[in-house]
Amino acid sequence: MEEAIYDTSVVIEAVAKNRQKIQGYVSILTVVEYPPALSYASKVLYPEKRDYHLAIRWQALLRRRGNPIPAVDLIIAAQAYNRDLTLITHDKHFEILKKEVAPDIKLIIEGKEQ
């Protein structure tokens, strides 16, 4: 599998089911949302200015269309996009992001490649 960044929803499930350490990245924002993520992540990724800029641009488009997405999720998605990482999540609202503003984002939702 390509390099990936794991969304908070996947990390929460990994901790709850006592799975092995995640082989890939988690955002520091995931660690802030869910501190046990730190012990399950092999690499922690910190947002850069370009990630915030992209998340703002996406959110402006999504809000105009009436489909805003939580800010933390947009920043994590921007981190994935800007680094050509696959975003792995259980949150279906990322489908809106892919459909409406970022069709080329690498995304896996609940095991279904998008």
Q: What is the pLDDT of residue 113?
A: 45
Sequence spans of domains, the chain: 4-113
Rounded CA-CA distance 101/103 in Å is 6
Strands 107-109 and 112-113: antiparallel
State whether CATH 3.40.630.30 applies to domain 4-113. Answer: no
Q: What is the pLDDT of residues 27-58, one digit of tens each?
A: 999 999 999 998 888 899 999 999 999 999 99
Q: What is the pLDDT of residue 43?
A: 92
pTM, whole model, 2 decimals?
0.91
Selection from 5, 46, 45, 47 nearest residue 22 by Cα: 5
Q: What is the pLDDT of residues 55-105, one digit of tens each?
A: 999 999 999 999 999 999 999 999 999 999 999 999 999 999 999 999 999
Neighbours of 64 (CB within 10 A): 10
